[in-house]
Amino acid sequence: MRVLIASSEVHPFSKTGGLADMVAALAKSLARAGIETTVLTPLYRGIAEKFPDIAPTDYLFDVPLGAKRVQAGLRRLPVEERLEILFLDQPGYFSRPSLYQENGADFADNAERFIFFAKCVAHFARYSPAKPDVVHLHDWQAGLVPLLILDQRLRDGWSSAPRTCFTIHNLAFQGNFPRSSYALTNLPADYFHPGGVEFYGGLNCLKAGIAYADFNTTVSPRYAREIMTEAYGCGLDGVLRGRQDALAGILNGVDYDEWTTTKNPFLKHPFTARQLAGKAKDKLALQAEMGLPQNAGVPLFGSITRLTDQKGIDIQLGALEEMLAAKMQFVLLGSGAPEFERACQQLAHKHQGRAAVRIGYDAGLAHRIEAGCDFFLMPSRFEPCGLNQMYSLRYGTIPIVRRTGGLDDSVIDAGDDDELADGIKFSEYSARALAKAIRKALLLYEDKKLLRFFRRNAMTADFSWERTTAEYLRVYQRARGLAAA
């Protein structure tokens, strides 16, 4: 089987969130399972300079985009056996300071940029020498690909067209654009209706993927159920309910080659579930790096997050205002809404010696926070999957999470199973409920035997990609009509 994956971001080349990590890990795992795998992604500014082995090819894209035609080149990077990354080289669209926004505002031509990207994916699927059996699309930026392929199958006689799988990473980001943007697709008006791509009079790229892909997935079983409800459906719950027979929730895996507590270039002190001395040293090192008093006996809480409403920053700030009066420390790495950045910095200023905040993203520091903290806060309002809670488990850092989406699927509270407990969960979305969960963590920290038990359960939990990949292969088979799931 040949699989073409299309994503607007792929780690380590481009990243704004967990999408990049998931796509990179899935591609690598598919290749190692014997699947010929190609990933197609934009060539953003700086990628070619950072990865000089990326080589030009003679493949040329020349596709219609409304009333004009736009060209692009293609660059190639072989990664390992059966896996290559292809980069769509169109500087006018993709050589910019960031992927989607500048100064907090979306690029005005995002519709044009990613309709072009979707057209190039469909073009490559049809005309590349190694034609894929399945095209796996990710999020709204590639949401129009299933429709473009379907239209060419129906109108152009592309009888050997591949089947499509569309993965929703976050239903809140939909790629909504004015109706006029639909002209850029060069598709007939037949698809612009409430059962198709139309959404309150405009074009919805995510809805296009959901409506026209052969099969849809999302990144955790609970989130797949949640998005079919009005509370979590972001206006698309009816569309999703209509396609529930072609929708599966598959929990993301973790790339344990990267997220490891041994042979990790970002950690000075390796450790394992049975030898935790290195974790204690990593904690002292993290306290020093973040400017906090070095004290092995103080419970250290951490958070690595986008500072947005979705991530529960409002209730986290409220709970910490109350709980930092207790014997505890807190560190945060993240960026996002300016008002949340300011509020986090004000929290650190008010509680100097107990709280430290680093605005931005630093991959090495992310590993050191996961390794050095005792507890990890992830009180999301909603969470399609989440990866940091799974990274925390592998690093023996007990996650404190709200019961939603992938957080509920991946963390085990003592109330769920006291023999497998590896985290702390709460349900109500409030600062009060989170503060109560933090108090439970402080009690757990004082019971060293129970804390070791939780840590051992956490570090031996298995979220390897082999399991996840097997589920995606079953989905690909369903999409191709070869086998039942």
Note the pLDDT tens digit of each residue in 191-228. Answer: 999 999 999 999 999 999 999 999 999 999 999 999 99
pLDDT tens digits, residue range 440-481? Answer: 999 999 999 999 999 999 999 999 999 999 999 999 999 988
Helices marked H in 329-464: 338-350, 363-372, 388-394, 405-410, 431-446, 448-460
Spatial distance between the Cα atoms of 407 and 393, rounded to a whole number of angstroms: 12
Which pair of tokens denotes residue 380? Answer: 């999301």
Please state whether the predicted TM-score (pTM) of the whole model is above 0.95: no
Cβ-proximal residues to 470 (8 Å cutoff; 6+ apart), any chain: 33
**Is 483's pLDDT higher than 50?**
no
What average pLDDT does the segment 400-419 reach?
A: 97
Please count the CA atoms within 13 angstroms of the CA of 21 that sit on its side-chain side.
20
Spatial distance between the Cα atoms of 320 and 448, rounded to a whole number of angstroms: 23
- Confirm or reject CATH 3.40.50.2000 for domain 2-253+466-480, answering yes or no: yes
**pLDDT bucket at 484, cuts 50 / 70 / 90:** very low
Which pair of tokens denotes residue 284? Answer: 């002292």
What average pLDDT does the segment 39-55 reach?
A: 97
**pLDDT bucket at 248, cuts 50 / 70 / 90:** very high
Domain with CATH 3.40.50.2000 in the chain: 2-253+466-480, 277-462
Cβ-proximal residues to 112 (8 Å cutoff; 6+ apart), any chain: 65, 93, 181, 184
State the sign of the Cα–Cα–Cα–Cα dihedral 189, 191, 193, 198: negative
For 120-158, b/e burial (b = at least 16 CB within 10 A) is bbbbbbbebeeebbbbbbbbbbbbbbbbbbbbbeeeeeb
Fold of 277-462: Rossmann fold (3.40.50)
Which pair of tokens denotes residue 145? Answer: 């690909």
Cβ-proximal residues to 237 (8 Å cutoff; 6+ apart), any chain: 227, 228, 229, 230
C-beta of residue 9 within 8 angstroms of C-beta of residue 16: yes
Nearest residue to 230 via CA among 222, 220, 219, 238: 238
